[in-house]
Amino acid sequence: MNSIVEKAYAKLNLSLDIRGRHPDGYHEMLMVMQTIDLCDDIKITLNDEGRFTAASNLGFLPADRRNIAAAAAELFLKEAGMEGAGADIVMQKRIPVCAGMGGGSSDAAAVLRALNRLTGAGFSAEKLEAMGLELGSDVPFCVRGGTALASGRGEKLAHAAPLPDCDIVVCKPRFSISTPTLFRLVDGCKLRYHPDTRGLTAALESGSVADVARRMYNVFETVLPRRYVDISAIKSVFMDFGALGTVMTGTGSAVFAIFDNTDTAAQARDALRERYGTAYLAKPVGKVL
C-alpha cells in the first residue's frame, strides 16, 4: 500500500485574544480552539520520483509545492529521511477558503498524521506539531484537534475540556478579510476589551454550552473596517434566530453561532445561505490523534 486517506477537519475560535507583539512581528495569542465535523477529504499517494502535487476541486488553489498540503508532505518526508520520495495529494475541499476556519492548516496537519501512519515513521504528536509550526501558526492545533487553549503563535497547546454536543452554524460571506491587514489594524490601536478566557475554559469545564456561547469573543471584530458591516449583520441574524452566542472565527470572514435546538439552527442556516453566501450545520469533534 502506498496510498492513504485522511479527513482534515475545520477549526473555530471560541475565543481569540491578542496579548502583545513579539520582536519578530508575530503576535502573542490566547485562543480557545475547537474542531468541527466540516472536513476536507485527502488522499495521499507516495511516488519514487520526488514529485509533490496537490490537486483539488478548487481550481484557484496552487497544485504544486506552494500548496500547504504538498509543503507538509515534503517537510515530513525530509524529516523521515525519505530522500527521493514524493507525494501526490488529491483533496476534496469543503472547508471554505480564507474563512478563519483553518482549512489549509488542517490539510497540512492531516498530511502529517497520514504520512506518519503510511510510512511507519512513528513520530510523536509533539514532533508532528513542531513540524506543523514550520508550515503555519494554526497547524500545531490541527494535528490533534479537539478543544484546546492555544498561546504563543498558536503552538503552545494546553488542555481544555471538550465542548459538549451542540448545534453549530457557520456562515461564510462572499467577501474575505486579509489576515495581515487585520493584524496591522490591531497594532495601530489599543484593545480596550478582551475575552474572558478563564471564564470560557471554566464554562467548558462545567459542561454548560450556554455559558460557553455567552463568553465567545474575538478581538479582531473590534478593529474591522466599516465595509465589513455584514459581519455584525450576520451575528444579528443568528441572535434573532435564538442563538446562545455568536462570534467571528480567526481573522474571518466566517461567523458562527451555537444553538441548543437543531431545527432553529437549520432555519438560521437556510436564511443566511440565502442572504450572505454559504452556510453549514456542524457538530463539535473531539481529538483526532
Please report whether residue 66 would count as binding ligand C5P according to CB under 6 A: no
Evaluate whether 36 touches 103 at the Cβ level (below 8 Å): no
| Nine-digit cell string for 171 | 456562515
- State in angstroms the smallest separation of the CB of 102 from ligand C5P: 9
Distances (CA, A) of 154 to 158, 180, 186, 226, 275: 11, 16, 17, 28, 33
104 part of the interface to ligand C5P, by CB under 6 A: no
* Pattern 144-183, ligand C5P, x by CB under 6 A: ---------xx------------------------xx--x
Active site annotation includes 156: no
Task: Assess whether 235 carries a catalytic annotation.
Answer: no
CB 118 within 8 A of CB 44: yes
The residue among 78 and 184 lying less far from ligand C5P, judged by its C-beta, is 184
DSSP secondary structure, 120-144, as one string: -----HHHHHHHHHHH-TTHHHHHH
Give me the least distance between CB of 200 and ligand C5P, in Å please: 19
Single out the residue of 56, 67, 116, 137 in contact with ligand C5P (rule: CB under 6 A). 137
Question: For the residues of 51-66, what is the DSSP string, one character each?
Answer: -EEEEES-TTS--STT
Radius of gyration from C-alpha coordinates of the chain: 19
The reply on whether position 122 binds ligand C5P by CB under 6 A is no
CB of 128 to ligand C5P, least distance (A): 16
Please tell me which residue in 17, 138, 167, 230 is annotated as part of the active site: 138
Which of the residues are catalytic? 11, 138
